[in-house]
Amino acid sequence: MTLAARRVALVTGGGRGIGRAIALALAREGCDVAVGGRTRAPLEETAAAARHLGARALPVVLDVGGPASIAGAVAETVATLGPVDVLVNNAGVAESAPLAKTGLELWERHMSVNARGPYLLTRAVLPGMLERRWGRVINVASLAGLVGSPYVTAYTASKHALVGFTRALAMEVGGKGVTVNAICPGYVATDLVWNAARNIEAKTGTSFEEAVEALAKLNPGGRLLEPAEVAAVAARLLHADATNGETLVLDGTPTP
């Protein structure tokens, strides 16, 4: 199913992994796509793939930790593609450390990227959505936004903040044509997992393959999710007028 009228989507962290998969899924659904991220080369590659699917696509260099960068990226998107109808807050950072080694810089980096960035981006595009009485804000949170785990206090707190932001804003915009939802995946086969596995390998002597397997087993379904599975949920939310304020859990468990 495609949208009756072309919408403009801005996807952060869109150069690779989950963000790339979502950007391409939205292009297939009839959206024009601004692909945001810090490194231009993968953004260009994702944008080219989206154009191949028939979408207009714009690579936008964007640091979600920087308010000026956010303002510039939104302005560039609007000037080139049009007002943002679909915002996917996907960019994120995930680092592990016991609390005693979780310094203020690490803590604030997680809050800046995982919570403050989505707040600033949403605040920038929401007025236009409300004026047009149609919009989708899709926050890529995590199972860590719903439960606790050891050694990831900063990450867990930031994702809990994103889930709380989702729920509160959904109540604020309910009935106004805009929906706000969070997708909460477990471990996904992306660079974040590969980097985590390398850290485990370096610190414990466990092999990389064994570390990946251990991370996969932390998902209730016992396997890593694929980026395309997360993207499929984002695509469905385009058409889900009645879904608002939800935390959509993806944990690798087979769907009945």
Residue 155 annotated to the active site: yes
Inside any domain, residue 29:
yes
Inside any domain, residue 252:
no
Tokens 């640091």 correspond to 63
pLDDT of residue 1: 46
Inside any domain, residue 38:
yes
Question: Block means of pLDDT (10 residues each) for the chain, length 256 residues?
Answer: 75 97 98 97 98 98 96 98 98 94 98 98 98 98 94 96 98 98 94 83 87 88 94 98 97 78
Amino acid found at 146: L
Inside any domain, residue 251:
no
219 and 111 in a common domain: no
Identify the domain containing residue 52 by its residue range. Answer: 7-186+226-244
| Measured CA distances, 97 to 103, 156, 194, 202 (Å) | 9, 12, 17, 14
Inside any domain, residue 155:
yes
216 and 147 in a common domain: no
73 and 125 in a common domain: yes
Do 162 and 94 touch, CB atoms closer than 8 A? no
Task: Outline where DSSP puts E strands in the chain.
Answer: 7-12, 31-37, 57-61, 86-89, 135-140, 178-185, 247-250
71 and 157 in a common domain: yes
157 and 41 in a common domain: yes
195 and 96 in a common domain: no
**How many domains does one find in the chain?**
2
Inside any domain, residue 100:
yes
159 and 97 in a common domain: yes
178 and 193 in a common domain: no
101 and 15 in a common domain: yes
Give the residue among 127, 137, 136, 200 at the shortest CA–CA distance from 165: 137
82 and 48 in a common domain: yes
Q: Which residues contact 11 (CB under 8 A, 6 or more apart)?
A: 19, 22, 23, 26, 33, 34, 35, 36, 88, 90
pLDDT of residue 2: 54
pLDDT of residue 60: 98
pLDDT of residue 256: 58
Give the residue among 12, 66, 57 at the shortest CA–CA distance from 39: 12
* pTM for the full predicted model: 0.94
pLDDT of residue 34: 98
Q: How far out from the chain centre does Cα 168 lie?
A: 18
Do 197 and 188 touch, CB atoms closer than 8 A? no
pLDDT of residue 214: 86
38 and 145 in a common domain: yes
| Burial degree of 154 (CB within 10 A; 0-12, 13-18, 19+) | buried
The backbone torsions φ and ψ at residue 253, rounded to the nearest 5 degrees and listed phi first, read -75, 130
Inside any domain, residue 253:
no
pLDDT of residue 200: 83
Q: How far apart are the first and last CA of the chain?
A: 23
Among candidate residues 119, 151, 155, 187, the one labeled active-site is 155
Do 145 and 162 touch, CB atoms closer than 8 A? yes
Do 145 and 159 touch, CB atoms closer than 8 A? yes
180 and 116 in a common domain: yes
pLDDT of residue 250: 95
